[in-house]
Structure 1
Amino acid sequence: MDFSRYEKLRTLVRANFSEQTRALVDEALEYADGKLAGLVRYDGSPLLEHAAAVASIVISEVGLGRNSTISAILHDVVRLAHKQLPAEEFLALSADIRKRFGDQVVGITLGLANISELKLKVAKEQADNFRDLIVSYSEDPRVILIKLADRLEVMRSLEMFPREKWRKKSWESMNLYAQIAHKLGLYSIKSELEDIALKYLEPKDYEHVVTKLEESAEERKAFIGRFLVPIEQRLNRLGIKYHIKSRTKSIFSIWNKMHKQHVPFEGVYDIFAIRIIIDCPQEAEKQLCWTAYSVVTDFYTPNPKRMRDWISIPKSNGYESLHTTVSAEGRWIEVQIRTERMDAVAERGIAAHWRYKGVNQGAQTSEMWLGHLRELIEDTTHSLAQRFDAKPASGEIFVFTPNGDLRKLPEGATLLDFAFDIHTSLGSTCVGGRVNGRAVPIREQLRNGDIVEITTQKNQTPKSDWLSLVVTSKARNKIKSYLREEQAKHTRMGREELERKLKNWKFAITIDEAVAYLAKYFKLRLGTEVYALIATQKLDFGSIKEILSRHLSGEAEEERRAAAAEIERQKAALHGTQEKAAPQDALVIDDDISKIQYKLAKCCNPIKGDDVFGFVTISAGITIHRCDCPNAKRMRENYPYRVIDARWRQSAEGAFRVTIRIVAADTTGMANHITEVIVRDLKLGIRSMNFAPAGNGCVAGEVAVEVPGTAVVDTLIHQIMRIKGVQRAYRVN
């Protein structure tokens, strides 16, 4: 093969890796060249050039190692094979790659292939898919990092792609991939993805900002020169080793600020920043950074609101720096103070952070790095959820363990979040704790600077209502995981016990039929709920045996039929005689009754189509009640002489109010879906609507709707039940 095409990558490999790795990279290039022979990109260049460019980014801009580099080279080979080859051939290819390059390369490339096959929709739902994608493939976080490198290479080459792909790829890069890069501390990748995406999404705006930056470049350079003179003189006199970079704000950041604050280019005051980078041993870092800070503030007045100290408390992704904004010549200028080590971490993100901690010193530290990265990725899914569910971005609080260890949590975090943040077993057995020496329950919200101590009990376990007491994804995921395991355990235990009992009783019924009947009998939605009641001993086998015996003997059905016949008989006794003798004597309820004062009873709210009767009151004329009204029996028994027959006129028109009770999953937009069905689909009027959380991730409430009669109520309930997430809907009155 022609290795000269890939000389940039090979030079990087020579500079960063051992002789053995160089040989493996060359073997991977040759292997991929053979498998991808004849395949080209949109501009006619070999497809392998894309993979080689991604591998170069993986080494030089993300800072990953040998396995990631080889995976980047082979990712298109595995992706295409996964898509096109039959299962047996694909397994043979995987085995070949495993033998040549090892298990990790197979795992990473397969993860990348799976991501490529996930079809993302350009819309808000895309964020949901992407969150699932991250969680699915965070088994090995390197997959996400290589995917970022892959996307960066695609964006740099986007010009060669068909025009119809520009917008979709730019949208994804700006709204999804750039957010991940930011969370992982890969700020330069984040900025470049956003800038290129803006160039394709808003070309005119992009050109405007670029032109303005070019026009003001000379003036900016002169200003920076004047600004730095006193600072450099003092730093030199103090003997501090340093160098200075001036960094212009990214094009996207400037554009974003112009849009959000509705200001022209000139109104964006912190267009550039000065970075003072100090060269010193790690133990002297804090002291020298604060010395440099005092030098800057000796000459220029700082804005106290714009001070950021990420040296005392670094960001969770390892970022350390001291930021201040100072006033000079009537304008604000941001000054960032950091060391060479901190700058490498800021440029290369979490990989550099752990490299400085000694990733190359062995597999254990490497595992720590990957573990930390996995935590960050899990946390990222939570922040993306907030971003796309349009919730306000919450701040962060810092709390301490009794030993003085610092923990960072989101605003609104509770004692339970803190317990899970320290360790899963601590969270699972938490029963309360002490905050600043004061005893508090698990739901206690923590505040900045609190000293928190956890109290546990061995027999404590996570409960479903805990989900409403936590805000961190770590706590939520651990609780959900435990509840799922418990539910599966209960289902298994309950089913085994019931199967055993049915065998002992020698009942001629399958377990599925028995469970279906029991669920119906106890008005439960799922069979698993029956098993859970059995497993937790809330349902005893004596009752089950009796219920199933009556069901199998047909006794239960006979009772039901007898009860139905009795209701019919009572109805006939109530209405029959009068109707046969003189149906004209019945009170006919219409929307236009002259001289007869009647009103519809509030206790049962009858509507056209309901079986009704009239009741003569002393002060309010006649009230119309439903025959199944809770008060009907008492009225008939105590005042039979006041009861009069009533029926609806067939042609009667009117608006009756009916109240429907609804229990549904607590998902975004549920109220809108219900409103749309009632108003848009059924063309009915809503008079009131009231929902509140009901625990277990559900909301419950009532909707009062104006209907012309009972026929519409059945349709209304049926349509509401069809809404995804609605669990129950029934008429209250």
Structure 2
Amino acid sequence: MDKNKLQTQAEQRLIADYYENLTKSFDQRITEEGRERIHKAFEFANSAHAGVKRKSGEPYIVHPIAVAMIVSQEIGLGATSIISAILHDVVEDTDYTTEDIKNLFGEKVAKVVDGLTKLSDEITSQHDSKQATNFRKMLMTLSDDIRVILVKLADRLHNMRTLDSMPTPKQLKIAAETLYIFAPMAHRLGLYSIKTELEDLSLKYKQPETYNQIVFRLRNQQERREYLVNEFVQPIQNQLQNEGIDFTVSGRLKSIFSIWNKMQTKGISFDEIYDLLAIRIVFKPKTNISEKRQCFDILSLITDIYKPKPDRIRDWITIPKANGYEALHVTVMGPQGKWVEVQIRTERMDVIAERGFAAHYKYKGVHSIESELDKWLEKIRETLRNPESDALEFLDEFKMNLYTSEIVIFTPKGDMIPLPKGATIIDLAYEIHTDLGNHCIGAKINHKLVPVSYVLQSGDQVEILTSKTQAPDLEWLKFMSTAKAKTKVKQAFKLDKKRHLEKGQEIIEEKLKQYKIKPSADTLKKLAAHYNLSNKDQLYAHVGMGFIQIDDLESILKTRRENKLAKYWKISFGKNKNNQGRELELMLPKTQINKKNTFLLKEDPDERNYTLAKCCQPIPGDDVLGYMTSNNHVIIHKTKCPEANKLMSQHGDRIITAEWTNFKKRSYLTRIKVSGFDRIGIVNEVTNIISKQSNINMRTVMFDTHDGIFEGDLYIYIHNLGDLNKLIARLMKIKGIDTIERIENIEN
């Protein structure tokens, strides 16, 4: 039977419309020969996917065409990338192989498609996260072609745009993975508009109520904003026209995710965000005058009209961002007493700002030595060449490399070296050369001696000091910041793996012997899990190399007999860097949990088969999700918890939806911070409302006053979120109280 007959006439019309829109997005980039190859790829993929539907009910081929549309129109790539996008799911979902793709469409397309093809369950390590393994494989192709990542970002963007048809656990997993890896990746590659949309869509599915509230507030203020823009822009336009500058002016609203993120990090309300709006001036530069000078001339014209905020002038032209972004930013006091950010760019800068390096990246192997992107890709390749790191370790290292909050360091000769914020002397040493890092003993900054642990500040001029007798030190790992430096130090201690394994096994068995515990597979598995390692060999190696000191064995392996028939292990993860606040109870016998159904959280201790995560301290009423361990135990996290976000990105298949039942008996330790203007009796009023009027027990109460301002740190026992909100509402009525904030992290 002809596969195309499996498609109805309506479906064929829909597919034809999608493909026609794709062809309309082509410009002079796509030659006639390229268009023919693209059409051949479309016919091939349409036949291969015939009869297959998406969750939304649409023919499957609609998805690859939509991805190709993003690749063509929103990223601006050529024929090879468009063909790869159309074919990106053929090898994974049909009987065709990468070899077939190579024979039909050439080696380049085959390599990109292979990089985009996910691994099957059979060849995915049981210890590593499937997503992390897939991502690592995909990044391997960076050695040959960055188009793999660009097409993957387009694929992820279309999946996020059509996430409505997915079940909630799948939505949470995909949204978290997007926020954890793909949005930072888009930012790192300079794809600002794609990064913004990925972040906004992730928030929409992770925290729908918060997302909708911000959207509502923005719509409410739209008319007022438009008036402000017109009033603000008019005098600037007049001045630029008088100067004979060819320009366009537009307003850019801060993204929903950026607004939410600022509210979280700064602890402020929606109304306190002063840079909701930015005005963008894009101009056509005059020839024979430097772009930088012309940008500063426009800045001067603007600051003649409006007074600038001195600490809010950002020069990204002299030193562009790591992703290539160039612009001049200034925040000025506009009409109605509102701060307004103005962004000044040339047309060239604007193209790079929207499409990043994808707009002009050279694919034919002609790499510019000065390209920041090439330097970054080389760092990724270095990480990939390290055979010792497992997929999860790699994902963490890669994530670290995505952070673009950078500082600039100067060498004694005046060369600039960009480093992530928080980098130390030893990070800088390894950034310059491995030998320099291995023998580093300190540095001189402004003729002053500083240790290897010194945290660098942007603008420091640093002279690295070395000694032939110095060697890499495991203590360095505690304060190192960059993945490259950490990898180099670890490699120095991995020269004799077998010896380390034997030494580690000997140390662990000796420790277990002291507590009369047999080194069984189950015991070793629990120890490895505690330190976030995949298997016993990794555990032995880390102990043998001295990365892990097993001094807290007693607290890790606690056994307790409930009766003659049952006992359970309780493993409590300490607050180390990778496992901060994660708690896990492994129980026997196992409880069967249906991942498709919502997991109900019950108050009855006899029916409890879950643990509340220490990292975010959820209380009944919070929006939560469950992380199911390998032993069918569930750990409950808040949906907005960073640790939960990481778990969803790395172990999305173990995430389940969870809901509270009615909680009224038990109380949960909660921390709130209160601040305001000090006056006699205010502390007494606060404690009176908590203990007497609200009948809430307090564990710890600390108040501090200075210069007429008071701050209170209170640890209280709350039944549920409703009770907490009522308490906060009562406290806010006290004269002098200014802010009340719930603190997620409770330090016991």
Alignment TM-score, normalising by the size of structure 1: 0.59
Tell me by how many angstroms 1:106 deviates.
2.4
Distance (whole Å) between structure 2 residues aligned to residue 291 and residue 11 of structure 1: 39
1:686 equivalent in structure 2: none
1:308 equivalent in structure 2: 314
Cα deviation code 1:679-722 (max 9, x no counterpart): xxxxxxxxxxxxxx9983223546999xxxxx9xxxxxx98999
Distance (whole Å) between structure 1 residues aligned to residue 219 and residue 446 of structure 2: 55
Distance (whole Å) between structure 2 residues aligned to residue 444 and residue 167 of structure 1: 40
Query: CA 1:461/1:63 → structure 2, altered by over 3 Å: closer, same or farther?
Result: farther
Query: CA 1:666/1:26 → structure 2, altered by over 3 Å: closer, same or farther?
Result: closer
Query: CA 1:326/1:367 → structure 2, altered by over 3 Å: closer, same or farther?
Result: closer
2:44 equivalent in structure 1: 31
Range 301-310 or range 341-350, more displaced:
301-310
Cα deviation code 1:152-203 (max 9, x no counterpart): 1112223344566444433433444323323333221122123233334444
Cα deviation code 1:484-504 (max 9, x no counterpart): 3x225x86xx9xxxxxxxxxx
Matching of residue 417 in structure 1 with residue 422 in structure 2: no
Query: CA 1:201/1:314 → structure 2, altered by over 3 Å: closer, same or farther?
Result: same
Matching of residue 112 in structure 1 with residue 128 in structure 2: no
2:157 counterpart (152, 156, 172): 152
User: If you compute each CA radius of gyration, which structure gives the higher value, 1 or 2?
Assistant: 1
The AA in structure 1 aligned to 2:37 is L
Give ranges in structure 2 of 5+ residues lacking alignment. Answer: 5-11, 385-391, 510-514, 517-526, 534-542, 556-560, 562-567, 577-748
Tell me by how many angstroms 1:453 deviates.
3.6
Cα deviation code 1:472-522 (max 9, x no counterpart): 1112223334543x225x86xx9xxxxxxxxxxxxxxxxxxxx98xx79x9
- Equivalent positions of 1:244-643 (< 5 A) are 244-258=249-263, 265-280=270-285, 284-328=290-334, 329-352=336-359, 354-355=360-361, 359=362, 363-365=366-368, 371-375=374-378, 385=396, 396-424=406-434, 426-428=436-438, 434-436=444-446, 442=452, 445-454=455-464, 462=472, 464=474, 466-468=476-478, 470-484=480-494, 486-487=495-496
Query: CA 1:52/1:228 → structure 2, altered by over 3 Å: closer, same or farther?
Result: same
Distance (whole Å) between structure 1 residues aligned to residue 214 and residue 487 of structure 2: 43
SS in 2 for 1:698: coil
Tell me by how many angstroms 1:150 deviates.
0.8
1:190 equivalent in structure 2: 195
Tell me by how many angstroms 1:286 deviates.
1.0
Distance (whole Å) between structure 1 residues aligned to residue 220 and residue 460 of structure 2: 51
Query: CA 1:64/1:221 → structure 2, altered by over 3 Å: closer, same or farther?
Result: same
Range 431-440 or range 14-23, more displaced:
431-440
8 Å Cα contact 1:184/1:376 also seen in 2: no
Tell me by how many angstroms 1:416 deviates.
2.9
- Equivalent positions of 1:71-82 (< 5 A) are 71-81=84-94
SS in 1 for 2:290: helix
Tell me by how many angstroms 1:62 deviates.
2.7
SS in 2 for 1:104: helix
1:137 equivalent in structure 2: 138
8 Å Cα contact 1:694/1:700 also seen in 2: no
1:509 equivalent in structure 2: none
Distance (whole Å) between structure 2 residues aligned to residue 424 and residue 103 of structure 1: 36
Distance (whole Å) between structure 1 residues aligned to residue 151 and residue 420 of structure 2: 28
Cα deviation code 1:651-706 (max 9, x no counterpart): xxxxxxxxxxxxx8997799xxxxxxxxxxxxxxxxxxxxxx9983223546999x
1:102 counterpart (102, 106, 115): 106
Distance (whole Å) between structure 1 residues aligned to residue 65 and residue 404 of structure 2: 40
8 Å Cα contact 2:441/2:467 also seen in 1: yes
8 Å Cα contact 2:530/2:573 also seen in 1: no
Distance (whole Å) between structure 2 residues aligned to residue 195 and residue 172 of structure 1: 13
Higher helix share: 1
Tell me by how many angstroms 1:458 deviates.
8.4
Query: CA 1:118/1:14 → structure 2, altered by over 3 Å: closer, same or farther?
Result: farther
Distance (whole Å) between structure 2 residues aligned to residue 724 and residue 261 of structure 1: 28
- Equivalent positions of 1:191-270 (< 5 A) are 191-258=196-263, 265-270=270-275
Query: CA 1:68/1:463 → structure 2, altered by over 3 Å: closer, same or farther?
Result: farther
8 Å Cα contact 1:310/1:321 also seen in 2: yes
Tell me by how many angstroms 1:369 deviates.
7.7
Query: CA 1:719/1:218 → structure 2, altered by over 3 Å: closer, same or farther?
Result: closer
Cα deviation code 1:594-645 (max 9, x no counterpart): xxxxxxxxxxxxx9x9xxxxxxxxxxxxxxxxxxxxxxxxxxxxxxxxxxxx
Query: CA 1:460/1:115 → structure 2, altered by over 3 Å: closer, same or farther?
Result: farther
8 Å Cα contact 1:170/1:198 also seen in 2: yes
Query: CA 1:119/1:429 → structure 2, altered by over 3 Å: closer, same or farther?
Result: same
2:81 counterpart (63, 68, 76): 68
Distance (whole Å) between structure 1 residues aligned to residue 413 and residue 281 of structure 2: 35
Distance (whole Å) between structure 2 residues aligned to residue 367 and residue 22 of structure 1: 34
1:50 equivalent in structure 2: 63
Distance (whole Å) between structure 2 residues aligned to residue 51 and residue 366 of structure 1: 35
The AA in structure 2 aligned to 1:22 is R
Query: CA 1:480/1:439 → structure 2, altered by over 3 Å: closer, same or farther?
Result: same
Matching of residue 696 in structure 1 with residue 696 in structure 2: no
The AA in structure 2 aligned to 1:156 is R
Tell me by how many angstroms 1:77 deviates.
0.4
Tell me by how many angstroms 1:316 deviates.
1.0
Query: CA 1:43/1:416 → structure 2, altered by over 3 Å: closer, same or farther?
Result: closer
Query: CA 1:205/1:409 → structure 2, altered by over 3 Å: closer, same or farther?
Result: closer
The AA in structure 2 aligned to 1:58 is V
Give ranges in structure 1 of 5+ residues lacking alignment. Answer: 495-514, 527-606, 610-663, 671-692, 706-710, 712-717, 727-733
8 Å Cα contact 1:301/1:326 also seen in 2: yes
The number of aligned residues is: 515
Distance (whole Å) between structure 1 residues aligned to residue 261 and residue 246 of structure 2: 36
Cα deviation code 1:237-265 (max 9, x no counterpart): 22222211111122333344456666654
Tell me by how many angstroms 1:401 deviates.
1.7
8 Å Cα contact 2:275/2:339 also seen in 1: yes
Query: CA 1:324/1:430 → structure 2, altered by over 3 Å: closer, same or farther?
Result: same
8 Å Cα contact 1:666/1:698 also seen in 2: no
SS in 1 for 2:333: strand
Query: CA 1:419/1:21 → structure 2, altered by over 3 Å: closer, same or farther?
Result: farther
SS in 2 for 1:60: helix
Tell me by how many angstroms 1:142 deviates.
3.2
Tell me by how many angstroms 1:61 deviates.
2.0
Tell me by how many angstroms 1:321 deviates.
1.8
8 Å Cα contact 2:477/2:486 also seen in 1: yes
Query: CA 1:132/1:263 → structure 2, altered by over 3 Å: closer, same or farther?
Result: same
Query: CA 1:164/1:385 → structure 2, altered by over 3 Å: closer, same or farther?
Result: closer
8 Å Cα contact 2:18/2:65 also seen in 1: no
Query: CA 1:297/1:68 → structure 2, altered by over 3 Å: closer, same or farther?
Result: same
